[in-house]
């Protein structure tokens, strides 16, 4: 078999594997949205079986044989050619997959499916004791996976690399430490301000049907294609890119607080816009996939915050919000805009402001790093959580529901995922600064409801590139600079010093 034939076999094999994975994602989407309560046990078995079948395909010895036939050939001489990009990532994925025994892959999938169900049932009841065994099993299995994957410095690196290629815990600790110091200084300045936003206007009555209508209108206006997606309810907002023509989003509603549903929907729409902008001709291969979770989060955080919390955005959307919600009839635009940009130490990550949000992520990064490396046991996690909350935000959760159990990620075994949110914030500010050089100030465009120029810029520079570049290479390609958190610090400082007059 010559290199061209070997490559075609790999392309066909991996596309079929991707089809199986998309079926697995669909079952997972259904589990978190529409499944009847008694269907969870059976669904866990379905997901475990699919995970085993997918893993068996990933470690098929023929994959390694055909990779070796193509490597070094003229077909992949240009590293940015689609074939070379695909081969690069297929090799990486294969080398990782063969280190995980099929039984472990299946056990992880089963534990994740059962863990998410346990979390959804236990969190509303504040029942840590019921959830703890499920989390304990996931940590145990994840530690096994980390040891099997091998690492240079610490086990957590092996899992982190699965979400953001090339990152290490030590490297992130340094990056996040410098960012934390800057954020704490900014937070101190803001807390010294005499200005106080009227957040009570956000805690009025906002009927769920009208919230859903407003979320749909806003998502469509920024470019989300509902003919290729849908909006549903879930206990924790998420998005699912199931394949070309199918990128779904969810949010959750609180009739007594405006921000929850709306900014959750914008965040997930940002993810889905990325999925809808990926090149469909490369679907099923790395060239047609997102560059990384960090880059994915840059898109969601961009639309949620840099766009969705801007004054220009609300100049365009606030009149419609006042039409829909009686609660906003007597509220001025500037009052509302200040309220949705309030900076305050809070318990809940998904409701945190732009300044304190990354402190929530750093807390989780440090805890999961200790969990995987063995410095922290699951039984001690609630106390460790509360101690970190007190250290970073000077708050102590009143219960587990709004403390250690507030996020879905650990219940799904996603250890190494949380850091990608802060990486996404860093990337988003740097990308937006580059876009501003090309497009100029966009506040006026947003005020007129014109989001296409910015979306098209993202499509050209980021979405259409798919997995052509790895994260840091993509940042360098798009911005002409290395990744740098100063763009995020500069953006936050300008915005909030102006709002708070400090």
The predicted-structure confidence for 156-187, as pLDDT tens digits, reads as follows 999 999 999 989 999 999 999 999 999 999 99
Q: What is the pLDDT of residues 185-219, one digit of tens each?
A: 999 999 999 999 999 999 999 999 999 999 999 99
Backbone angles phi, psi at 325, to 5 degrees: -110, 115
**For residue 441, what pLDDT is reported?**
85
**pLDDT band at 236; cut points 50, 70, 90:** confident
Q: What is the pLDDT of residues 293-316, one digit of tens each?
A: 999 999 999 999 999 999 999 999
Phi-psi group of 466: left, alpha or beta (phi > 0 → left; psi -120 to 50 → alpha; rest → beta): left
Q: Token pair 């998420």 is at which residue?
A: 238
**For residue 150, what pLDDT is reported?**
82
Q: What is the chain's mean pLDDT, rounded?
A: 96
Q: How many helices (H) and strands (E) would you count in the chain?
A: 20, 3
List, as one string, the DSSP characters of 370-436.
HHHHTSS-GGGHHHHHHHHHHHHHS---SSSTTTTTS-SGGGGT-TT-THHHHHHHHHHHHHHHHHH
Model confidence at 351: pLDDT above 90? no
Do you know the residue count of the chain?
502
Hey, what are 392's tokens?
Answer: 């970073």
Q: What is the pLDDT of residues 124-154, one digit of tens each?
A: 999 999 999 999 999 999 999 999 998 889 9
Contact 341, 193 (CB under 8 A): no
Q: What is the pLDDT of residues 15-64, one digit of tens each?
A: 999 999 999 999 999 999 999 999 999 999 999 999 999 999 999 999 99
Name the strands in the sheet holding 239-243, side by side, starting at the edge strand that comes first in the sequence. 231-233, 246-251, 239-243
Model confidence at 263: pLDDT above 90? yes
Q: Give catalytic residues, as residue numbers.
A: 268
**For residue 350, what pLDDT is reported?**
86
Q: What is the pLDDT of residues 478-497, one digit of tens each?
A: 999 999 999 999 999 999 99
Q: What is the pLDDT of residues 359-397, one digit of tens each?
A: 999 999 999 999 999 999 999 999 999 999 999 999 999
Model confidence at 447: pLDDT above 90? yes
All structural domains of the chain: 3-150 (no CATH), 169-342+353-379+419-500 (1.10.1370.30)
Residue 233 host element (H or E): strand 231-233
Q: What is the pLDDT of residues 274-283, one digit of tens each?
A: 999 999 999 9
Hey, what are 451's tokens?
Answer: 């989001």
State how far the Cα of 11 lies from the Cα of 24, in Å rounded to an integer.
20
List, as one string, the DSSP characters of 89-127.
HHHHHHHHHTTS-HHHHHHHHHHHHHHHHHHHHHTTTT-
Label each residue of 331-361 as H, E or C.
CCHHHHHHHHCCCCCCCCHHHCCCCCHHHHH
State how far the Cα of 288 lies from the Cα of 166, in Å rounded to an integer.
20
When pLDDT is averaged across residues 408-415 and rounded to a whole number, the result is: 96
């Amino acid at each position: 078999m010559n290199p061209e034939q070997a490559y075609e076999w790999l392309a066909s094999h991996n596309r079929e594997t991707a089809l199986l994975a998309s079926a697995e994602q669909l079952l997972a989407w259904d589990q978190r949205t529409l499944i009847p309560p008694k269907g969870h046990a059976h669904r866990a078995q379905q997901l475990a079986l699919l995970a085993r079948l997918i893993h068996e395909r990933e470690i098929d010895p023929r994959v390694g044989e055909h990779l070796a036939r193509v490597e070094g050939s003229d077909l992949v001489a240009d590293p940015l050619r689609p074939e070379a990009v695909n081969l690069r990532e297929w090799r990486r994925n294969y080398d990782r997959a063969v280190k995980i025994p099929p039984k472990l892959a299946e056990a992880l999938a089963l534990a994740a499916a059962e863990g998410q169900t346990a979390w959804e049932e236990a969190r509303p009841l504040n029942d840590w004791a019921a959830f703890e065994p499920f989390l304990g099993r996931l940590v145990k299995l994840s530690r096994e996976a980390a040891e099997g994957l091998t690492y240079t410095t610490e086990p957590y690196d092996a899992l982190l690399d699965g979400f953001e290629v090339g990152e290490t815990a030590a490297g992130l600790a340094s990056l996040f430490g410098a960012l934390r110091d800057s954020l704490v200084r900014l937070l101190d300045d803001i807390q010294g301000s005499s200005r106080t936003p009227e957040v009570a206007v956000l805690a009025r009555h906002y009927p769920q049907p009208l919230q859903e209508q407003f979320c749909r209108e806003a998502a469509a206006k920024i470019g989300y294609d509902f003919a290729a997606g849908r909006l549903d309810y879930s206990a924790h907002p998420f998005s699912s890119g199931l394949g070309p023509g199918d990128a779904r989003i969810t949010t959750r509603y609180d009739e007594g607080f405006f921000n929850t549903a709306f900014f959750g929907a914008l965040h997930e729409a940002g993810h889905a816009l990325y999925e809808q902008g990926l090149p469909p001709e490369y679907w099923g291969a790395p060239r047609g996939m997102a560059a990384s979770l960090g880059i994915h989060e840059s898109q969601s955080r961009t639309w949620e915050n840099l766009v969705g919390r801007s004054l220009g955005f609300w100049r365009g959307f606030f009149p419609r919000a006042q039409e829909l919600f009686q609660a906003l009839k007597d509220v001025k635009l500037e009052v509302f805009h200040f309220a949705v940009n309030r900076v305050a130490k809070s318990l809940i990550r998904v409701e945190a402001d732009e300044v304190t949000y990354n402190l929530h992520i750093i807390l989780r990064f440090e805890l999961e790093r200790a969990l995987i490396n063995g410095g922290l046991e699951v039984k001690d996690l609630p106390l460790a959580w509360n101690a970190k909350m007190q250290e970073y935000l000077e708050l102590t959760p009143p219960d587990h529901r709004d403390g250690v159990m507030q996020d879905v990620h650990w219940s799904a075994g996603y250890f190494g995922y949380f850091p990608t949110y802060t990486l996404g914030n860093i990337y988003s500010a740097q990308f937006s600064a580059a876009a501003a050089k090309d497009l100029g100030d966009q506040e006026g465009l947003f005020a007129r409801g014109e989001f296409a120029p910015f979306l098209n810029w993202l499509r050209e520079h980021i979405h259409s590139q798919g997995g052509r570049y790895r994260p840091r290479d993509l940042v360098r390609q798009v911005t002409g600079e290395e990744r740098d958190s100063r763009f995020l610090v500069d953006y936050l400082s300008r915005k909030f010093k102006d709002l708070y007059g400090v």
